[in-house]
Structure 1
Amino acid sequence: MKIVVMSDSHGDKETVKAVSALSADATFHCGDSELSFDDSILQTMHRVRGNCDRDARFPASVVVEVEGKTVLVVHGHEHDVKHSLMRLYYYAKELGADVVLFGHSHLYGAEMKDGILFVNPGSTMQPRGRKVATYAIVEWDETVRVTFKNMSFETVDFMEIKKV
């Protein structure tokens, strides 16, 4: 499985267009696009509503299957992700998610907890903490790899977990 994940693009159509054009089994936007739900640039992406999105047609969460993995997508503001991943972890357990994608904090990161991969791709427009805008590529086969890339498509960070 290979997925591309972005979040918190805050109205910047150029980054959404560039990232959504990348080759993957599925592409995700974790909210705060600040675009209309039916904007043509979002049509190929699974997308959710962030706290800055005003179009009520965005769902609060999406659950899809990609190459046999159950992927849960939320923005994160409704799960208090800036303070802890516990609420999101329990929600993921209830839904049987293998992968959880979220944004909101504008900080990229990934971790595996009890076999569930949590990925925050950072922000493509307004990064915090680290000064670089990022998106993520998740590859899951015998190994789980999460690569964080900047808007020049260069790797800025990487995580790999070998399956036992």
Structure 2
Amino acid sequence: MRALVISDTHGLLRPEVLALAREAGAVLHAGDVGQPEVLTALGAATPAPVYAIRGNVDRTPPLSGLPETLLLELGGVWVYLLHDLHALDLSPEAAGIGVVISGHTHAPRLEQRGGVTFLNPGSVGPRRFRLPVACAWLHLHEGQVQAQPVTLLP
């Protein structure tokens, strides 16, 4: 299973992201979608499931109806999505979660803590400050996890 992990589109869906989505077994959006058309276009670009959570800018329907968090089993691994990592209110290791995906900061980050992969793919929406425009691939197979950051614009 290869999942495309994106966040913080803020209403901007770049053609490069749509091209990557076509290659994905799943698309995971870690919030701040910005416009419902982003999810519609992602869904039209790929036959794979598109999972999205609500970010702090997703305040009006239909985006306000997205869940705040999402727990998924992909490739034998439990994956937990939330927008702001500071809002994490559980112990992923104790809960058997292998990957925690967040967004919010627009800064890509990948780290391992206590056997858990923490992934912030960065932002694929409008450039913020001098941060790159980035996303990530998440490879999940038989309980194994490998994250692969992707920089679209340095």
> TM-score, normalization: structure 1?
0.74
Seen in structure 2, the aligned counterparts of structure 1 residues 127 and 119 have a Cα distance that, compared at 3 Å, is: farther
Seen in structure 2, the aligned counterparts of structure 1 residues 93 and 9 have a Cα distance that, compared at 3 Å, is: same
Give 1:148 shift.
Answer: 1.6
Which moves more between the two structures, 102-111 or 120-129?
A: 120-129
Seen in structure 2, the aligned counterparts of structure 1 residues 36 and 107 have a Cα distance that, compared at 3 Å, is: same
Q: CA RMSD in A?
A: 2.7
> TM-score, normalization: structure 2?
0.78
- Matches of 1:121 and 1:10 in 2, distance apart? 14
Between the two proteins, the alignment pairs up a number of residues equal to 144
- Matches of 1:146 and 1:38 in 2, distance apart? 24
Deviations 1:99-129 (A, max 9, x none): 1111001000111111111100000124456
Deviations 1:52-94 (A, max 9, x none): 1122211001111001100101111xx42xxxxxx63844245
Seen in structure 2, the aligned counterparts of structure 1 residues 36 and 113 have a Cα distance that, compared at 3 Å, is: same
Equivalent residue number for residue 161 of structure 1:
none
Seen in structure 2, the aligned counterparts of structure 1 residues 38 and 104 have a Cα distance that, compared at 3 Å, is: closer
**Gap regions ≥5 residues in structure 1:** 81-86, 157-164
Give 1:19 shift.
Answer: 3.7
Give 1:130 shift.
Answer: 4.9
- Matches of 1:24 and 1:42 in 2, distance apart? 11
The share of aligned pairs that are identical, in percent, is: 30
Contact 1:20 1:45 in 2 (8 A): no
Give 1:96 shift.
Answer: 2.3
RCO higher in structure (CA 8 A, sep ≥6): 2
* Equivalent runs, 1:78-117 vs 2, <5 Å: 79-80=85-86, 88=88, 90-93=90-93, 95-117=95-117
Equivalent residue number for residue 55 of structure 2:
50
Q: Which one of 48, 51, 68 corresponds to residue 76 of structure 2?
A: 68
- Matches of 2:41 and 2:72 in 1, distance apart? 20
- Matches of 1:60 and 1:91 in 2, distance apart? 17
